[in-house]
């Protein structure tokens, strides 16, 4: 899942007992034993990096470990996580002002870790929900007491400094829990509900860190973030299918006469092309709906948003140019295309005309 859902759920502050902690500790120790290398993603390229203590799965740190985690060290830990995993939504990159960068690392580290609990093969399936519940418990605890875990030490500082609400963080956790228990969506509206939790909170939090709290701007951000999440889904249809996940709405598949068996077999026929064309058109419409945001933020954020917007639209172009065949190869941008996007993003007028 890219770092995306419906509503703004406010969970009861139920803090798990020590049993959940021991489950998480056991999973982490198993990870340390079994994983000599970790698989990470950078700009669409899979590669291996040596696993270090800084990148290990988080858990409740004990009192002796707490002494070693200053606020500064905790932000550095979050930076390590952020730099090891880079996704379509470029959180905390060097293109952003240094004053806000470390706080975005903290937000990203929180979300990335929870996403790993939901998705990474190193965790046993029956531990995923307990780990996510424990993670939410630590989130709620950090709102009122000193946290032990470096991610939450940095996150607490971020939340207090920018007066961030807890609901977007809880929405993200809702999305990760959905990833554990839901592997397909009946309607496009159902999928949008997922995106409201999995993608939109990131945009809301980023805007808040930069001082943009206008609900109208947040609504524009929601459109762009949902579009980015959907773009990632269409880009990864083949990958998700091998994992047993289907993000193409089942009603739309039935409407176009494209059964699940065809999807599992990687069949690209006219029915699949019509199905994908509909999804890409919907996604473009969302990018267009959110485009006014790019002209309403200051220079501190406008370049990054233009680059993100253009990148998402460019991926949709690649999907179309491939005849919607996302099974043969994953649509992505090469270095030349990325360089071109950087040049275009440097000019504010690059997103004024319709299309990517």
Same domain, 129 and 63: yes
Split into its structural domains, the chain has a count of 2
Same domain, 37 and 67: yes
CATH number reported for the structural domain that contains residue 288 in this entry: 1.10.600.10
- How many angstroms separate the Cα of 90 from the Cα of each of 78, 203, 206, 243? 15, 11, 11, 25
What's the pLDDT score for residue 96?
A: 72
Same domain, 294 and 335: yes
Q: With contact defined as beta carbons under 8 Å apart, do 346 and 251 qualify?
A: no
Residue 259 placed within a domain: yes
Same domain, 83 and 30: yes
The closest alpha carbon to 106, from 43, 169, 197, belongs to 169
User: Which of 159, 181, 203 is where one domain is finished?
Assistant: 181
Residues 6+ apart with CB under 8 A from 302: 294, 295, 348
Q: With contact defined as beta carbons under 8 Å apart, do 180 and 126 qualify?
A: no
For 293, the domain range is 182-346
Same domain, 170 and 211: no
Would you write out the chain's pLDDT as a tens digit for each of its 356 residues?
Answer: 434 322 222 122 221 222 233 233 333 333 333 332 222 222 222 222 223 333 344 444 444 344 579 999 999 999 999 888 655 334 446 667 788 999 999 999 999 999 999 988 889 999 999 999 999 999 999 999 999 999 999 999 999 999 999 999 999 999 999 999 999 999 999 999 999 999 999 999 999 999 999 999 999 999 999 999 999 999 999 999 999 999 999 999 999 999 999 999 999 999 999 999 999 999 999 999 999 999 999 998 999 999 999 999 999 999 999 999 999 999 999 999 999 999 999 988 777 644 44
CB under 8 Å, gap of 24 or more: what pairs does 165-168 form? Answer: 166/139, 166/140, 167/8, 167/9, 167/10, 167/201, 168/8, 168/201, 168/202, 168/204, 168/205
The closest alpha carbon to 161, from 78, 112, 104, 202, belongs to 104
Same domain, 159 and 263: no
What's the pLDDT score for residue 235?
A: 97
What is the Cα–Cα distance from 107 to 81, expressed in whole angstroms? 11
* Strand stretches in 32-74, DSSP E: 37-42, 45-50
Question: Could you write out the DSSP letters of every residue in 130-159?
Answer: HHHHHHHHHHHHTTTS---SHHHHHHHHHH
Q: How many Å from the N-terminal Cα to the C-terminal Cα in the chain?
A: 24
């Amino acid at each position: 899942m890219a770092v995306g859902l419906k509503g703004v759920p406010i969970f009861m502050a139920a803090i798990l007992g020590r049993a959940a902690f021991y489950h998480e500790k056991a999973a982490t120790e198993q990870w340390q034993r079994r994983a000599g290398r970790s698989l990470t993603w950078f700009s669409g390229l899979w590669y291996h990096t040596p696993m270090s203590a800084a990148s290990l799965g988080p858990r409740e740190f004990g009192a002796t470990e707490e002494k070693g985690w200053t606020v500064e060290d905790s932000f550095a830990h979050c930076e390590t996580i952020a730099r090891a995993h880079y996704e379509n939504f470029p959180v905390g990159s060097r293109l952003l002002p240094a004053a806000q960068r470390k706080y975005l690392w903290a937000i990203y580290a929180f979300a990335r870790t929870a996403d790993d609990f939901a998705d990474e093969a190193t965790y046993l399936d029956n531990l995923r929900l307990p780990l996510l519940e424990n993670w939410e418990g630590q989130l709620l605890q950090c709102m009122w007491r000193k946290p032990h875990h470096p991610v939450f030490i940095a996150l607490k500082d971020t939340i207090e400094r920018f007066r961030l609400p807890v609901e977007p963080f809880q929405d993200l956790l809702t999305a990760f829990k959905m990833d554990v228990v839901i592997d397909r969506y009946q309607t496009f509206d159902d999928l949008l509900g997922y995106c409201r939790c999995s993608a939109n909170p990131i945009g809301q939090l980023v805007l808040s860190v930069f001082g943009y709290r206008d609900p109208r701007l947040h609504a524009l951000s929601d459109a762009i973030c949902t579009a980015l999440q959907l773009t990632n889904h269409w880009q990864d249809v083949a990958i998700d299918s091998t994992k047993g996940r289907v993000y193409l709405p089942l009603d739309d598949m039935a409407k176009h006469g494209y059964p699940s068996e065809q999807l599992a077999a990687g069949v690209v026929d006219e029915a699949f092309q019509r199905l994908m064309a509909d999804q890409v058109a919907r996604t473009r419409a969302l990018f267009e709906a959110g485009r006014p945001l790019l002209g309403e933020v200051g220079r501190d954020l406008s370049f990054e948003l233009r680059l993100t917007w253009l990148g998402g639209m460019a991926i949709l172009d690649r999907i179309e140019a491939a005849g919607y065949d996302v099974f043969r190869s994953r649509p992505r941008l090469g270095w030349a295309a990325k360089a071109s996007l950087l040049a275009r993003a440097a000019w504010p007028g690059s997103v004024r005309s319709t299309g990517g």
